[in-house]
């Protein structure tokens, strides 16, 4: 059982072995887990493995990206609703927490949930019960909460965009999924797994990439991580070596842009925002009305940001 669920998490590098060890440990506990890592690195794969290895495995795994739900619907989506709760609510609808009863709810992109909703989510987690929209009845829930984000969550807390009490509720366990460029030894195994997965789907025996192709793949920085590698393998199956051309160009491009990109990539969203505001203000000769217009911000919100980031003019 355990071996099987972990084999879905492909990789044998030291960092992946450590990650699998953590998955095993965490799956035996009931505490909330927060999974951190870049987009495409495999956070959802890890979340599923935790569920499959846990005692909850015969109950549902309900995954949802918080970014995919419009802000106005997030509460009804997660907590459910009763008829008349809003215009289109004609019948009773259990939310995702109820749908996950006995199992695991996986809230992806948790860093992006609106501040206004965070307090309500915190209450649900503290009280272990939900109230459907339009109802006062409390429904007890038995659900393990696993969250993931690629946002710098500590920075969001500092910037006031994420409640620290909610973060401490969610990150009893923190698991970091390393980006693919930090474990390039895993590339051959991953390529093999994706060839099997997608080759079977197309019903063909795909050509195996030779050692020189693997070397090329290892020197590419994979900004889109494992997801990008999987897409490459799909192209390889239908195009063969031609699939490398697109990759070649992108490698060249990414090396060229690396210096600038690296700098931006190592910054938090707030730091980037502060930097862009400074640049635009400078470009507008310090005229805040003009700068606000160019940034698509209300004047008041530009003033707030200037204050928050302590931008000096
Ligand atoms: N270690 C891994 N082993 C096998 N497949 C993986 C692994 N990591 C990622 N993938 C695949 O890459 C894609 C992106 O993974 P996902 O878990 O959705 O990333 P994230 O949630 O971090 O954006 C998925 O198709 C997933 O199956
Ligand atoms: Mg994802």
The model's pLDDT over 77-129, given as tens digits with 9 standing for 90+, comes to: 999 999 988 888 889 999 999 999 999 999 999 999 999 999 999 999 999 99
Q: Is residue 43 in contact with ligand 1, taking CB distance under 6 Å?
A: yes
Nearest Cα residue to atom 12 of ligand 1: 227
- What pLDDT was estimated at residue 1? 47
- In this prediction, residues 131-152 reach a mean pLDDT of 96
204 or 129, greater pLDDT: 129
- What pLDDT was estimated at residue 220? 87
| The pLDDT of residue 253 is above 80 | no
CATH number for the domain spanning 276: value is 1.10.10.60
Backbone angles phi, psi at 180, to 5 degrees: -60, -35
231 CA distance to ligand 2 centroid (A)?
Answer: 15
Highest mean pLDDT among 158-162, 257-261, 283-287: 158-162
| 76/170 same-domain check | yes
Q: Is residue 198 in contact with ligand 1, taking CB distance under 6 Å?
A: no
Burial of 281 (0-12, 13-18, 19+ CB in 10 A): buried
| 86/35 same-domain check | yes
User: In terms of pTM, does the model score above 0.85?
Assistant: no
Surrounding residues of ion ligand 2, Cβ less than 5 A: 44
Tens of pLDDT along 151-196? 889 989 999 999 999 999 999 999 999 999 999 999 999 999 999 9
- In this prediction, residues 247-273 reach a mean pLDDT of 68
Tell me the C-alpha distance between 106 and 30, whole Å. Answer: 14
| 14/65 same-domain check | yes
Pocket test of ligand 1: the residue of 50, 226, 228, 232 to mutate, having most ligand atoms within 8 Å of its CB, is 226
Tell me the C-alpha distance between 50 and 153, whole Å. Answer: 21
Q: Which numbered ligand comes closest to the C-alpha of 194? A: 1
5 or 262, greater pLDDT: 5
Number of domains, the chain: 3
Domain holding 294, by residue range, is 269-308
| 193/171 same-domain check | no
CATH number for the domain spanning 232: value is 1.10.8.60
| 240/122 same-domain check | no
Above pLDDT 70, what percent of the chain? 94
In this structure, of 129-138, 220-229, 279-288, the range with the lowest mean pLDDT score is: 279-288
Instruction: Give the DSSP letter of residue 206.
Output: P
| 33/99 same-domain check | yes
| 172/197 same-domain check | no
Nearest Cα residue to atom 23 of ligand 1: 40
36 CA distance to ligand 2 centroid (A)?
Answer: 11
| 192/174 same-domain check | no
Alpha helix stretches (DSSP H) within 42-148: 43-53, 74-79, 96-99, 115-127
| The pLDDT of residue 214 is above 80 | yes
- What pLDDT was estimated at residue 168? 97
Total residues found in the chain within this entry: 313
| 106/91 same-domain check | yes
Pocket test of ligand 1: the residue of 35, 195, 227 to mutate, having most ligand atoms within 8 Å of its CB, is 227
Burial of 44 (0-12, 13-18, 19+ CB in 10 A): middle
Above pLDDT 90, what percent of the chain? 67
Flag whether 130 is in a domain.
Answer: yes
304 CA distance to ligand 2 centroid (A)?
Answer: 32
- What pLDDT was estimated at residue 272? 87
| 39/82 same-domain check | yes
Pocket test of ligand 1: the residue of 6, 40, 52, 67 to mutate, having most ligand atoms within 8 Å of its CB, is 40
| The pLDDT of residue 71 is above 70 | yes
Mean pLDDT value across the chain:
90
Flag whether 163 is in a domain.
Answer: yes
| 278/185 same-domain check | no
CB-based contact 217:75 (threshold 8 Å): no
């Amino acid at each position: 059982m355990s071996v099987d669920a972990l084999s879905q998490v492909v990789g044998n590098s030291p960092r992946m072995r450590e990650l699998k060890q953590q998955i095993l440990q965490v799956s035996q506990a009931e505490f909330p887990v927060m999974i951190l890592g870049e987009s495409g690195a495999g956070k959802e794969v890890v979340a599923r493995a935790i569920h499959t290895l846990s005692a909850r495995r015969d109950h549902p795994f309900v995954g949802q990206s918080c970014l995919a739900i419009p802000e106005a619907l997030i509460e009804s989506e997660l907590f459910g609703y009763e008829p008349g709760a809003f215009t289109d609510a004609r019948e009773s609808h259990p939310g995702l927490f109820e749908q996950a009863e006995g199992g695991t709810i996986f809230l992806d992109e948790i860093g992006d949930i609106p501040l206004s909703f965070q307090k309500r989510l915190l209450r649900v987690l503290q009280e272990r019960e939900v109230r459907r929209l339009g109802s006062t009845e409390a429904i007890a829930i038995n659900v393990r909460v696993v969250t993931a984000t690629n946002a710098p969550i500590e920075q969001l807390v500092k910037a006031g965009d994420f409640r620290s009490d909610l973060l401490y509720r969610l990150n009893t366990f923190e698991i970091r999924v390393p980006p693919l460029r930090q474990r390039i030894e895993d590339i051959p195994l991953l390529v093999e797994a994706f060839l099997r997965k997608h080759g079977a789907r197309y019903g063909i025996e795909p050509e195996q990439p030779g050692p020189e192709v693997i070397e090329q793949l290892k020197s590419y920085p994979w900004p889109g991580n494992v997801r990008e590698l999987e897409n490459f393998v799909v192209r390889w199956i239908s195009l063969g070596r031609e699939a490398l051309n697109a990759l070649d160009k992108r490698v060249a491009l990414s090396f060229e842009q690396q210096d600038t990109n690296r700098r931006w990539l190592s910054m938090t969203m707030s730091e980037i925002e502060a930097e862009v505001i400074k640049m635009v203000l400078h470009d507008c000769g310090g005229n805040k009305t003009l700068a606000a217009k160019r940034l698509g911000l209300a004047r008041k919100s530009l003033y707030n940001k200037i204050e928050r980031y302590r931008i000096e003019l």
